[in-house]
Structure 1
Amino acid sequence: MSGSSPAARLQELFEGRRLTPTQRRIAHSMVRRAGDAPFLSSVELAELAGVSQPSVTRFAVALGFDGYPALRKHLREVAPAGPETGEETYNEYQQAVLGEIENLRHLAELLADPGPVERAGRLLAASRPLPVLGLRAASSQARGFGYFAAKVHPDVRVLDEGGSMLHDRIDAARRAGATALICFALPRHPREVVDALAYARDRGLTVVSVADSAFAPVARHSDLLIPAAVGTGLAFDTACAPMLLGRVLLEAMCDALPDAQARLEEFDAGAVARGLFVE
């Protein structure tokens, strides 16, 4: 860490940590004041970030230190203040984008073996209907996948709301002939999603999961899990890699559906006839 700027050294310390939004707010404040960070008291840092002093203590513990004094001592040793010369520096927004670019690079490396994606595409194409599960942070991923999947698949059922009827909707899909379910699982992982996947497998469904890690809580209830990391550089996770992986799975599903192209052409013809789009 010694060869990079103070801001970059701090960013490296925070990368890969599962921090709450409040803790990320503290981290961002430290990055913005990288030169001063090793010398701020817990009270000063709390005021700077607009959080409570106990939140600063919990933040230090989340990073693996006994408390804030141990964190500050570490920062003074590895990230001392000083002028930054001859180095390209990035603000927190740029760093978030660069972090996502790195996540996409890792996804590209993973896809060098297309076998898992192709297997997933076949499983999803064969399931009639096809349940698509995603709750809370992952609900937008599920809805986006479901929107495009419905253009080529005859029966897509998006499950983006939890509650007591979630198991009922899984049962209904299974009775209608579903053989597989695709789940988008992103942090923080709702217990309801884990329970729903366990229930789906008990009912005989094959579970395909897109998750932020191969060790995500949904892993033990997934028959096929393909990981795509989320960005953690901002107060709330960014999910460019999981979204792109969802589109890749759609492509693989289209390849396994013999009438996919005909369905797309039919939709396009209907869209033109209805004047659906302005272009």
Structure 2
Amino acid sequence: MNEAAVGTGGRVLGLFQGARLTPTQRRIAHSLVQHGPSAAYLSAAEVAELAGVSQPSVTRFAMALGYAGYPALRRELRALAAVPATPPETGENPMQDALRAETRRLERMADELGDLSAVERAAQMLVGSRPLPVLGLRAAAPLAGYFGYFAAKVHPDVRVLDGGGTILLDRLDQARAAGASAVLAIVLPRYPRETLEAIREAKELGLAVVALTDSAVSPVAEAADVVLPAPVGTQLVFDLHTGPMAMAMVLLQAMCDAAPETAQRRLEEFEATANRRHIFEA
């Protein structure tokens, strides 16, 4: 998806923010976001085919957003698609364009963090979970490990779940039996089926789910108690995960703010241990 599509997709996503959508309606919303400007010129039947739903579901989706029907929603989508999504040509190379687009995404994320209620709610859930499972498979595995490494400095029992198979469900069972009350699920495109299945299992076990994902209408959103959206960059061969990494650190900061005395004590203990063992050169 090019930057114009990414920009339009972000504006389309704004139409759905705060709406209470059914799982079927979330699939429709996700398809519209993913297809960017081209979605504005699709018929209801074509949208239904893309999302794998019925045509009446598309009509009900438009009405759930407050439109008289799908034609009215499509007019709004076309208006959004007509808004320039990128600055004038700069003559820079594609690598520079990709990084500048990432900067703009981070700026939008910063604007959205004017309301910290979701981040603070997520932090409260996670800081109180003993142990704290952090789930991330495939493309999300490195970010799960990154978050887990730093979270372990301020949380007494962080368990990174970055391997699939039946042992993943065993580890969820073990975390719940040990007292876990919540799980952080990092879910990035292309949304591994195994991750979504593990999240459903976590819900059945009674765990609250905080989802760090690329979009408020990502497939994990319908199962999550709190969704923290952080868009990924799509201009290079492989996605840029700068946004999700930034959101992970914002969440960890909020966890420290939610339990400042515990966080400070554990940081001091870590520094004392690091000095005694001469772990770092500087």
TM over 0.5: yes
Are residue 259 (structure 1) and residue 268 (structure 2) matched? no
Which residue of the partner structure matches residue 223 of structure 2?
A: 221
**Residues 3 and 101 in structure 2, CA contact (< 8 A), matched pair in contact too:** no
Structure 1 gaps of 5+ residues are: 1-9, 19-62, 66-85
Give the Cα separation in 1 of the matches to 2:178 and 2:2: 50
Query: How much has 1:132 moved relative to structure 2?
Result: 0.2
**Residues 15 and 233 in structure 1, CA contact (< 8 A), matched pair in contact too:** no
Classify the secondary structure of the residue corresponding to 1:225.
strand
Which residue of the partner structure matches residue 187 of structure 1?
A: 189
Equivalent residues in 2 for 1:221-260, closer than 5 Å: 221-257=223-259, 258-260=261-263
Query: How much has 1:17 moved relative to structure 2?
Result: 9.6
Classify the secondary structure of the residue corresponding to 1:259.
helix
Structure 2 gaps of 5+ residues are: 10-37, 42-87
Query: How much has 1:165 moved relative to structure 2?
Result: 1.1
Give the Cα separation in 2 of the matches to 1:112 and 1:17: 22
Which residue of the partner structure matches residue 166 of structure 2?
A: 164
- Equivalent pairs counted in the alignment come to 209
Q: Which amino acid aligns with 1:243?
A: M
Query: How much has 1:273 moved relative to structure 2?
Result: 1.7
Q: Which amino acid aligns with 2:278?
A: G
**Residues 16 and 232 in structure 1, CA contact (< 8 A), matched pair in contact too:** no
4+ residue runs of structure 1 moved beyond 2 angstroms? 10-18
Give the Cα separation in 2 of the matches to 1:196 and 1:106: 31
Are residue 101 (structure 1) and residue 99 (structure 2) matched? no
Query: How much has 1:261 moved relative to structure 2?
Result: 0.4
Classify the secondary structure of the residue corresponding to 1:165.
helix
Q: Which amino acid aligns with 1:269?
A: A
Query: How much has 1:254 moved relative to structure 2?
Result: 1.1
Between Structure 1 and Structure 2, whose CA radius of gyration is higher? 1
Which residue of the partner structure matches residue 269 of structure 1?
A: 272
Which residue of the partner structure matches residue 30 of structure 1?
A: none
Q: Which amino acid aligns with 1:101?
A: T
Give the Cα separation in 2 of the matches to 1:205 and 1:97: 37
What per-residue deviation string (whole Å, max 9, x for no partner) do you get for residues 5-53 of structure 1?
xxxxx954554699xxxxxxxxxxxxxxxxxxxxxxxxxxxxxxxxxxx
**Residues 148 and 158 in structure 2, CA contact (< 8 A), matched pair in contact too:** yes
Give the Cα separation in 2 of the matches to 1:249 and 1:102: 20
Classify the secondary structure of the residue corresponding to 2:105.
helix
What per-residue deviation string (whole Å, max 9, x for no partner) do you get for residues 87-129 of structure 1?
6222110011011111101110111001111111111110000
**Residues 134 and 144 in structure 2, CA contact (< 8 A), matched pair in contact too:** yes
Query: How much has 1:265 moved relative to structure 2?
Result: 1.0
Q: Which amino acid aligns with 2:218?
A: A
**Residues 133 and 183 in structure 1, CA contact (< 8 A), matched pair in contact too:** yes
Which residue of the partner structure matches residue 206 of structure 1?
A: 208
TM-score, normalised relative to structure 2: 0.70
What per-residue deviation string (whole Å, max 9, x for no partner) do you get for residues 185-242 of structure 1?
1011100011111110111000001000011111111010010000001000001010
**Residues 123 and 254 in structure 2, CA contact (< 8 A), matched pair in contact too:** yes
1:114 alignment partner, one of 116, 121, 124? 116
Which residue of the partner structure matches residue 50 of structure 1?
A: none
Mean alpha-carbon deviation: is it higher for 222-231 or for 263-272? 263-272
Query: How much has 1:141 moved relative to structure 2?
Result: 0.8
Q: Which amino acid aligns with 1:202?
A: E
**Residues 181 and 207 in structure 1, CA contact (< 8 A), matched pair in contact too:** yes
Which residue of the partner structure matches residue 134 of structure 1?
A: 136
**Residues 185 and 210 in structure 1, CA contact (< 8 A), matched pair in contact too:** yes
Give the Cα separation in 1 of the matches to 2:171 and 2:105: 34
Q: Which amino acid aligns with 1:230?
A: V
Are residue 155 (structure 1) and residue 157 (structure 2) matched? yes
Classify the secondary structure of the residue corresponding to 2:237.
coil
Which residue of the partner structure matches residue 4 of structure 1?
A: none
What per-residue deviation string (whole Å, max 9, x for no partner) do you get for residues 255-278 of structure 1?
222311011011112111211111
